[in-house]
Amino acid sequence: MKIALHQIAYQIGIHPREMAKWVYEGEITGEVPDNNPQAKDAWVDVHSLRNFIQWRFEQGKFDEMFYQKAVRHIGKYMR
């Protein structure tokens, strides 16, 4: 399920450029046309993003508060 990159990034507390970097590096599925994370066409897959956030949390890269906030916001789009 696709969602606008800038929309979900701000909701979970990640700068869109950081999320775009994850897309460029192949960590999450998405597309960032013209290297512009603010573009209307820039998107990420919410399932891929959820799995990535969970994986990084399990590695200790994200704290509990960030993880809970991210999962809550991502869950709204998965329903």
List pLDDT tens digits, range 33-63.
999 999 999 999 999 999 999 999 999 999 9
Q: How far apart are CA 5 and CA 43, in angstroms?
A: 4
The reported pLDDT for the residue numbered 78 is 86
Asked if 32 and 23 touch (Cβ cutoff 8 Å), the reply is yes
pTM for the whole structure? 0.91
